[in-house]
Structure 1
Amino acid sequence: MKRNLFLRRIACWCSALALLAPLAAPADETCNSPYMANLITGQEDYVHVWTLGVAGMGDGNDKLVTVDVNPRSGQYGKVIGSVAVPGRGEAHHMGFTDDRKYLWAGRLEDNKIFVFDVGTDPAKPRLVKTIGDVAQKTGFAGPHTFYALPGRMLLGFLSNAADAGGVTGMAVYNNRGDFVARYPMPVGKSAAGDGDGYNYDLAVNPQKNALLTSSFTGLNNYMSELGQLIKNPEAMKRFGNTMVLWDLKAMKPKKVFNTPGAPLEIRWSLREGDNWAISASALSSKLWLVQQDGGGEWQARDVGNIGDPAKTPLPVDISLSADGRRLWVNTFMDGKTRLFDLSNPRAPAQIYEKTTGKHVNMVSQSWDGKRVYITTSLLSKWDLDNDDQFLKLYSWDGKELKEQWKIDFYREKLGRPHHMKFTAEAHRVGAPKLAAAH
């Protein structure tokens, strides 16, 4: 009886998702879910930075750091607050709920998820819930990606809870933080193709009823020292080489793509009429395009290099412009930020590059493309030159990145800055575009 009730609830959720899909509209950072209700098209007011704690530095805890980024503010470019969470657990990525009122932030090492209220007062986030039984409920470990669905949160994981290896899956929670369902990644031969079971990022194109997932590596590699990992031939074999296209409404894999080199972040073009997504592979330093061909069949292809692959620049994050024509790419090992022209996504062309740090990780641009934010920390055991941990803001005038300010997180005794999310005061956020199905 309980099982039948559970299945009916899943069916209702899928029906709601199907009805809402055609109404979806873009969010301000193109990494955000198109189901998010509010759009910041102008100047963002705050940047929230999910930050790794460092033993002996300040309170040593992981924390959500809030920075005032409105140039009209007297605190422009300053840290205005932080919310510490107990201990250190490899703070990594975050994601908004569909109503943009709550920010879910995950830790890879202990599988905890922290839910912050950023809607009541975005200048002063509050920790309102901690979800500590994720591995037990889902069977997966290393919560990595948090992606809003109507009334739900779709989570992508790096590992399974049994052996911390790369075979893993996804899970759905409701916005209250209750576990709803789990979806293993395809492994071995199937009607969809030959799957390796790996997962990293995920992104949705509602108009195409398409969920796309990528792959990287499991927690065993994530939590190893970078120098030791590179010297371990067996460990270097344990990286994903696939992307998977899913039927979003049915939550079933439709096609497995062979994409060697461990593809990372996925960005769908939001430009009207476009039918493609782009990703970057970490180990092979390639740009991968997933696009429908003339017959409507989805295909994946290597469309170009990022830097010199022989030097392993290690692409780590990408940010696609709102019009789908420009792609920022950060490479960790050489500390460079590159810009690609995607006017023809099948033939990306690098048009700019700049060294923005000793090593850089995340890159986020504003909706209008005029501001580019960069942070440094990748993983606690992979970071290089750990005295250089910062958040920087650059302006982009179409020709040059110009540094506006830099916050030294070590000098501020905050830790290592990783993922970023934008918020704005309520009166400056666009009207809701999508009703949430709670």
Structure 2
Amino acid sequence: MGSADHASHEHHGPGYASPADAMKAGPEKELYATALYEGTGIEHPDYLATVDVDPNSRTYSQVIHRTDMPHVGDELHHFGWNACSSCHADPGASRRFLIAPGTLSSRVNILDASDPRAPKVHKVIEGEEIKERLNLSAPHTVHCLPDGTIMISMLGDRDGDGPGGFLLLDQDFNITGRWEHDSGAMRFNYDYWHQPRHNVMVSSEWGAPSTFLPGFNLEDVTAGKYGHAIHFWDWEKHDVIKTVDLGDEGLIPLEVRFLHDPDSTHGFVGAALSSTMWHWERKDGDWTVENVIAVEPVEVAGWPFPVPSLITDLLVSMNDRYLYFSNWLHGDIRQYDISDPAKPRLAGQVWVGGLLGRAEEVQGNTLRGGPQMLQLSLDGKRLYVTNSLYSTWDNQFYPDLATAGSHLLQIDCDTERGGMRINKDFFVDFGKEPAGPARAHEMRYPGGDSTSDIWV
């Protein structure tokens, strides 16, 4: 058997002492990805795919295990750990359970990853219970908190309208209530990142589930049904202390990321529809926000208006040196040097699909769809990318994904000089899954990663 066909390694520690400590953890051997069937016509539960990413393994670049959810129709989206590096000071904390919500069903699936190569379902919190008890629906971002509880951003109320809120679970995955006290001017909800050292949380806005679930309609934008603001919260008081309206240059702000250094107040949010990247920092006690990158729209035959790049995901390398983001409609991934976070400098770019006709072939496969979710190795050298955004949106912009499925790619990153290239030896084709073509979305490592670990 290959060198990676070993007994499953343990990863029960809560996290790493520092980002530098995380970067020394060694190459990852497994990668988890959510895979789903909504919008494909296939009546099969969504699942968590375990992918072998060890190049020395005989099963390298293959799905080696599938953990089916108990029910059909979840629309697995983002997921996270019950414990991460924010719990490092607690020797009793264990990074053992994955919390995998469904935005469509509002269920919260809890998976036991004691065996990192073969997670199993541990518990399910029904969506109807969440709607009835807390008037919340459509769970999205999952983060563990320093006290060991788990918080999930919720995008709507029981009827699918805004503004949503934040759901709290205890360490046994029981619902304990809502986190927020006063949500201020928040009209919608989406992603969030907290940094207790600065007594702050930042949250962003997509739209109400009743708006985005049926698919994208440009008239909904002009009608004000999509977000264009980010919110700064008092972490201790659970109240919004400042709302920044990004205006027409900041339509649909999605993923938010602080730098990993807990002393830093710098962070970024990408506005999808406006295709802009915004930088925030605290100056003289106040939070300031500035547009630092703008991707220009491109004329495409058959489109009635210039096509925006649609920035859908972003992340920051563990050493806070590079910012990466995906342009889902244009088809490129960009790498920026953020040694000066307020002045990002383009360092690399790679094309992996999109509407502009610049896609390459990998192992005889023409890359379909556009780059969407990103995950970076702890050492910053391997960037993984999937291509499904949301089932109804996929079917509008990349209908082939419903019949051909997603793929998972690896991008090799130059961490010294900058630059990226596709690793042609790695290709995971979710179009050939046992139950039929599936859509792949967010990714996580068993040992933690740059988008789930927060240091406090």
Both proteins in one fold, TM over 0.5? yes
Q: CA contact under 8 A between 2:38 and 2:75: conserved in structure 1?
A: no
Aligned mates of 1:108, 1:199 — CA distance in 2? 13
Relative to structure 1, the CA distance from residue 236 to residue 285 in structure 2 (aligned partners, 3 Å threshold; closer, same or farther) is farther
Partner of 1:96: 81
Partner of 1:367: 378
1:209-220 to 2 correspondences below 5 Å? 209-220=199-210
Displacement after TM superposition at 1:334 (Å) = 1.6
CA-to-partner distance for each residue in 1:114-163, whole Å, 9 max, x for gaps?
Answer: 00011x1100101000000222222111100101112210110111113x
Aligned mates of 1:235, 1:50 — CA distance in 2? 32
Displacement after TM superposition at 1:351 (Å) = 2.4
Displacement after TM superposition at 1:183 (Å) = 3.9
User: Which stretches in structure 1 are left out of the alignment for 5+ residues?
Assistant: 1-22, 29-36, 426-431
Relative to structure 1, the CA distance from residue 262 to residue 302 in structure 2 (aligned partners, 3 Å threshold; closer, same or farther) is same
Matched, 1:417 2:411: no
User: Larger deviation: 270-279 or 324-333?
Assistant: 270-279
Aligned mates of 1:68, 1:24 — CA distance in 2? 23
Relative to structure 1, the CA distance from residue 299 to residue 42 in structure 2 (aligned partners, 3 Å threshold; closer, same or farther) is same
User: Which fold has the larger relative contact order, with Cα–Cα distance below 8 Å and residues 6 or more apart in sequence?
Assistant: 1
Partner of 1:381: 392
Q: CA contact under 8 A between 1:185 and 1:198: conserved in structure 2?
A: no
Q: CA contact under 8 A between 2:203 and 2:256: conserved in structure 1?
A: yes
Report SS of the residue matched to 1:346.
Answer: coil
Aligned mates of 1:95, 1:42 — CA distance in 2? 21
Relative to structure 1, the CA distance from residue 61 to residue 312 in structure 2 (aligned partners, 3 Å threshold; closer, same or farther) is same
Partner of 1:134: 130
Q: For residue 415 of structure 1, what is the amino acid of its counterpart?
A: A
Q: TM-score, normalised by structure 1?
A: 0.82
Residue 245 of structure 2, aligned match among 250, 258, 261: 258
Q: For residue 206 of structure 1, what is the amino acid of its counterpart?
A: P
Q: For residue 228 of structure 2, what is the amino acid of its counterpart?
A: N
Q: CA contact under 8 A between 2:36 and 2:438: conserved in structure 1?
A: yes
Matched, 1:52 2:49: no
Matched, 1:82 2:66: yes
Partner of 1:114: 109
Displacement after TM superposition at 1:280 (Å) = 0.4
Q: For residue 116 of structure 1, what is the amino acid of its counterpart?
A: L
Q: CA contact under 8 A between 1:24 and 1:206: conserved in structure 2?
A: no
Q: CA contact under 8 A between 2:34 and 2:442: conserved in structure 1?
A: yes
Aligned mates of 1:130, 1:354 — CA distance in 2? 39
1:328-339 to 2 correspondences below 5 Å? 328-339=324-335
Partner of 1:395: 412
Aligned mates of 1:142, 1:72 — CA distance in 2? 40
Q: Identity rate of aligned residues, in percent? A: 24
Aligned mates of 1:304, 1:251 — CA distance in 2? 31
Q: For residue 72 of structure 2, what is the amino acid of its counterpart?
A: G
Partner of 2:165: 169
C-alpha root-mean-square deviation of aligned residues, in Å? 2.7
Q: TM-score, normalised by structure 2?
A: 0.79
Q: For residue 142 of structure 1, what is the amino acid of its counterpart?
A: A
1:140-289 to 2 correspondences below 5 Å? 140-149=136-145, 150-162=147-159, 164-184=160-180, 195-226=185-216, 229-230=217-218, 232-233=219-220, 237-260=224-247, 261-271=251-261, 273-289=263-279
CA-to-partner distance for each residue in 1:85-130, whole Å, 9 max, x for gaps?
Answer: 1202221110101131000001111100100011x11001010000
CA-to-partner distance for each residue in 1:20-75, whole Å, 9 max, x for gaps?
Answer: xxx995569xxxxxxxx988732111111111125777762211111111122221
Report SS of the residue matched to 1:91.
Answer: coil
Aligned mates of 2:24, 2:102 — CA distance in 1? 27
Aligned mates of 1:433, 1:145 — CA distance in 2? 14
User: Which stretches in structure 2 are left out of the alignment for 5+ residues?
Assistant: 1-14, 84-93, 299-305, 354-368
Displacement after TM superposition at 1:433 (Å) = 11
Matched, 1:124 2:124: no
CA-to-partner distance for each residue in 1:289-344, whole Å, 9 max, x for gaps?
Answer: 12111x12111222221354853111100011112121110111122111112122
User: Larger deviation: 314-323 or 234-243?
Assistant: 234-243
Report SS of the residue matched to 1:423.
Answer: coil
Aligned mates of 1:56, 1:282 — CA distance in 2? 25
Report SS of the residue matched to 1:90.
Answer: coil
